[in-house]
Amino acid sequence: MGMLDDRIAVVTGGRGGVGRAVCERFEAEGATVYAGDLSDGGSVGGDAPAGSFLPLDVTDEAAVMASFAQVRDTHGRLDILVNAAGIEIEETIETTTLDQWNRIFAINVTGTFLTSKHALPLLRESEGHASIINFGSYDGFIADPELAAYCATKGAVHALTKAMACDHSPEGIRVNAVCPGYVDTPMLQSFFQENGDIDSLQQAVRDVHPLRTYGTPTDIANLVNWLASDEARYASGQLWVLDGGLSAQVQQMRL
């Protein structure tokens, strides 16, 4: 038996790096999974990804409502919502345009708001298994250079997660956020390619971690799977940092 047998799950950004790994893990644990994304190939591409593709633009309220109406008409309930859709913009506030600012907030924050808002009626129909897992970041606690807007969005998601938990945990809907550090996704690979010698930069990123490695999408999916399962029945309103010890250390002590 799987940890998520007979559960119904929607994963936004479900065709991206981490979202795809979450869909794969959920499906392996017995869940019926809908991978919400802009395209079936997503940012990774390839054949036969896990989960049924659900066309979903998290910035478009009508599209969000239509997607959850499809889930309602098919299943009558939802047990798990994972808000994994997100983008990153590498700029200071001085070089960030207003369009960039609005776009990253629309996807990372407003998207989390809209999907959660319209999933709630379906999550209330879950029989004691309802769980929302948002995606924050260690960058919502501390900051990397030239990620001002991204850091701001993740801080907002952290606060929103706690507020949602306060409001909806009494209804039996648990709300948590996973806060990854560096994870080997298309977003991270794009960072490597844009910033010089890829091999040396990859090693430098590994070396800055106490574990001397960065994470994989599977690492993140393992935590998301636990938060979605009944083993995490007492977990709500928390920000779960998964960063290889990166944010535990005082950086200047490494000099």
Catalytically active residues, by annotation: 150
Tokens of 38: 């802009």
Phi-psi region at 193: left, alpha or beta (left = phi > 0; alpha = psi -120 to 50): alpha
What is the Cα gyration radius of the chain?
Answer: 18
How far is it, in rounded angstroms, from Cα 243 to Cα 227? 17
